[in-house]
Chain A
Amino acid sequence: MDMHQFIALIQANTAVGIGLMIGLGALGACVGIGIMGSKFLESAARQPELMPMLQGRMFLLVGLIDASFIIGLAMALFFAFANPLLARFG
């Protein structure tokens, strides 16, 4: 295999990896937020006077649940635009 084939191999596998990182992360984050949001709506319907406090806590939890997904997203974008595996090649 010559140089171009090596580079194509690395780029192809990195692309698949990026897709998996973003896709699976989004899957987990969306399911998690869906479950949490449904619990919030339920409890807001049961006790409307607690809704402001619960809403504040809900936003905090949104940030925490999204954290792993966004860390994965940042790593995936890093591989998309400044691929260190490719840099070792030249």
Chain B
Amino acid sequence: MSEESGTSGGLSEYISHHLTHNTGSVFGGSFHWDSWLVSLGLGVLFVLWFGRMARRATSGVPGRGQAFVEMVIEFVDGQVKDVFHGDRRFLAPLALTIFMWVFFMNAMDLLPLDIGSGLVTLFGGHAHQTFFRMVPTADLNTTVAMALSIFLLTIFYSIKAKGFGGFGAELLTAPFTTSSMGGKIAMVIPNLILNLVEYLSKPVSLSMRLFGNMYAGELVFMLIAGLLASWITFLPGVIAGAAWGIFHILIILLQAFIFMVLSVVYIAMAHEHH
């Protein structure tokens, strides 16, 4: 496949090498070890860091680490408080986890591309046969897993607020409400279709938005490196890479923020719907 689509000889092979996941096979299916390991490591890092700051919190003058953690927590709690008018004790920590974890995973995109496969090559492996993609959120599996979890939570909160019967009835009688019995029966199918589309579009858009941003970001880095890699174009390459990197820092923060706010908004919308 890569032999057929050779653009300028080595560029296509460079890009497809850096777009291949470190795949193993688990229970017969394929499993991306790199996404799993990096996301696990970053999650543990976040939990240990914030946990350590929480355990050493003083009510006197805070140090810089504690001040930063407090700033993040207040920011996330403010966002949750704006939208969700129920018991925040589960939702705000969930939002904090989503925000910081997605931000850390996205931030792996700022590291040089070859570090991952280089490290794996150190521990045994051939130079061009080892693959290691360091950005878990540029893997569709990771983002879809997170979006599916949010989707299941939405359904859970919806059932918790309205009960099984209420949830089912709401699927069939909203948004087209009628008062007569005949009208209600006639509107069941359009209501069901609309509600299904609305429910199913949420995890799809949530996951694909994050995946698309990170995948395109990685690919533009690879293209800048691949197309501007010669003696004459070295300086423009560095400038272009730096410009895209600076823009990408904004994108990283923004996408983590959007994922968090949208998760909270979906769960809040499921919770209150009279």
* Nearest chain A CB to B58 CB, angstrom units: 29
State the main secondary structure of chain B at its contact with A: helix
Do A77 and B215 touch across chains, with their CB atoms under 8 A apart? yes
* Residue A45 CB within 8 A of the other chain: no
> Contacts A73-B216, A81-B16 hold; do A63 and B257 have CB atoms under 8 A apart?
yes
* Nearest chain B CB to A77 CB, angstrom units: 5
Q: Which residues of chain A have C-beta atoms less than 8 A from B209's C-beta?
A: 63-64, 67, 70-71
Bound Cα distance from A74 to B251, whole angstroms: 15
Do A70 and B5 touch across chains, with their CB atoms under 8 A apart? no
Do A81 and B255 touch across chains, with their CB atoms under 8 A apart? no
Q: Which residues of chain B have C-beta atoms less than 8 A from A74's C-beta?
A: 208, 211-213, 215-216, 219
Do A60 and B5 touch across chains, with their CB atoms under 8 A apart? no
* Residue B1 CB within 8 A of the other chain: yes
Bound Cα distance from A73 to B261, whole angstroms: 23
* Residue B258 CB within 8 A of the other chain: yes
State the main secondary structure of chain A at its contact with B: helix
* Residue B44 CB within 8 A of the other chain: no
Bound Cα distance from A29 to B138, whole angstroms: 22
Chain A 76-90 residues near chain B, CB threshold 8 A: 77-78, 81-83, 86-87, 89-90
Bound Cα distance from A59 to B251, whole angstroms: 10
Interface size on A, residues (CB 8 A): 24
* Nearest chain B CB to A69 CB, angstrom units: 9
* Residue B12 CB within 8 A of the other chain: yes
Q: Which residues of chain A have C-beta atoms less than 8 A from B4's C-beta?
A: 7, 86, 89-90
Do A87 and B1 touch across chains, with their CB atoms under 8 A apart? yes
Bound Cα distance from A7 to B12, whole angstroms: 17
Q: Which residues of chain A have C-beta atoms less than 8 A from B257's C-beta?
A: 59-60, 63
* Nearest chain A CB to B19 CB, angstrom units: 7
Q: Which residues of chain A have C-beta atoms less than 8 A from B69's C-beta?
A: none
* Residue B205 CB within 8 A of the other chain: yes
Bound Cα distance from A75 to B215, whole angstroms: 9
* Residue B254 CB within 8 A of the other chain: yes
Question: 4 closest A-B pairs (Cβ-Cβ)?
Answer: A74-B212, A63-B258, A67-B209, A71-B212
